[in-house]
Amino acid sequence: KEEWHHIRAATGTKVHRRNEEGYMVTLIIKERLIGLNEYINACRRNRYFSNELKQATEAKITAYIKEQLDGVHIHEPVRLSFRWYEENRKRDIDNIAMAKKFILDALVKSGVLVDDGMRWVKGFTDEFFLDREFPRVEVDIEGVGKNEG
């Protein structure tokens, strides 16, 4: 029997449960995140400043996690799909996608994911889009079944 549950639709988050395959949650970070160039410049400026920038970015992401995924704890390996919506085409895609490190760290610290190592994160994909009015990051987190070791 296939079940579909939509939870917290008002916040833009969908939680689905499917057969034995596990489930999928979607996190929407409703703003543009820092990129690699910004982070490198912060590191060059001062190592303490770069740590503050990382912590501030993770705090923003954590607020979205608490708003949308409160009570969600995934205890199985996952695959993640990142959709990056930028307000213009100025940043290179590798510069943009670097922020996934901060997203993964925040998901682990919030208890949504057990860990972000290879045992628990089996892979990810990135897609890039233009949305001048609503830059954001959408992250699908899909459980892929039992951990193989």
Cα torsion 26, 99, 131, 133 to 10°: value is 90
Q: Tell me the pairing of strands 121-130 and 78-86.
A: parallel
Residue 116: how many CB atoms within 10 A of its CB? 18
Q: What is the mean pLDDT of the chain?
A: 84
User: Mean pLDDT across the stretch 87-91?
Assistant: 96
Question: For the chain, what is the radius of gyration of the CA atoms?
Answer: 16
C-alpha to C-alpha distance for 62 and 109, rounded to whole angstroms: 8
**Above 70 in pLDDT, residue 78?**
yes
Best CA proximity match to 43, nearest among 35, 57, 53, 34? 53
Helix axis angle for 47-69 and 36-45, nearest 10°, is: 140
Percent of the chain with pLDDT over 70: 83
User: Mean pLDDT across the stretch 50-73?
Assistant: 92
For residue 43, the model assigns a pLDDT of 80
**Above 70 in pLDDT, residue 60?**
yes
User: Mean pLDDT across the stretch 11-35?
Assistant: 72
For residue 65, the model assigns a pLDDT of 96
For residue 5, the model assigns a pLDDT of 36
141 touches 78 (CB < 8 A): yes
DSSP code for 11: G
